[in-house]
Chain A
Amino acid sequence: MMFQEGPADTLNYMIAGYAVILGTIGLYIVNIILRFRSLRQDEALLDEIEAGQA
């Protein structure tokens, strides 16, 4: 690596790196959205129960 001319061809590693960055952040965002959604379902269920009791 030290003695070659011009930059090394490391494009694939760069793509892998950015895939990991975007993929991980994306997964985390999806995870948060899913947790929000399941909360909303719980909330709807609670609303129903409370309406049934009243």
Chain B
Amino acid sequence: MPPTTDLVVQKIETRADGSLRAYLRSIAAIVWKDLAAEFRSRELIGAMLVFSALVILIFNFALELDIRTREAVTSGVLWVTFAFAGTLGLNRSMAIEKDRGCLDGLLLAPVDRNAIFFGKAIGNLFFMLIVEAIILPMYSVLYNVNLFQPGLILVILLGSIGYTAVGTLLASMAVQARTRDVLLPILLFPVLIPLLLAAVKASNGFLMGFEMAEIMPWINVMIAYDVIFIAVAFMVFDFIVEE
């Protein structure tokens, strides 16, 4: 038996006995592949960061962010920035897969289709969190607002999870269309509205120091959104990459 066939047989066997472990391992492999590629080129996070900085600067002029308005609009400015920077990252991350034929390669690999989805989504989540981790201190310094509150971090985490779950699903459709760059935000934003609304409201609650009872409904909306759409994406992703 030639060694390559041996390897394939071995892979199939590992899938058969420790299928969950193999599943997790293939997810990790895809995440790792994305992170390693990004670490080498740095084109995705770099673009997202510069774009976010520009959006925040534009808001500064557009809204005249003096000390009083600043408190009221900070959460809105942050989420608009994240949402726009996110589409940039999502488009790029899926377009790379498509253009370099990586997606076809991934599909040929003996991994579950869903593992591809979770791998890509977790990779995108990492990129988003990295960008947010840089934007938050930048915003704090520029506008002298303390954004490092555990509640706000939780909201950003919940928001980013839902955003990347739906975003990865829709971006993998959008990149296969003729009009892909314009299509993603048009597909994504109307579906994201409940998540963004809840994220803005919850962030604002934490920044203004509201009581937990007022913030909890929004947190619950975000958790529900995340759970529902991760489940939906899990069920339908197969049909997007099926060829």
* Contact, chains A and B (beta carbon distance below 8 A): no
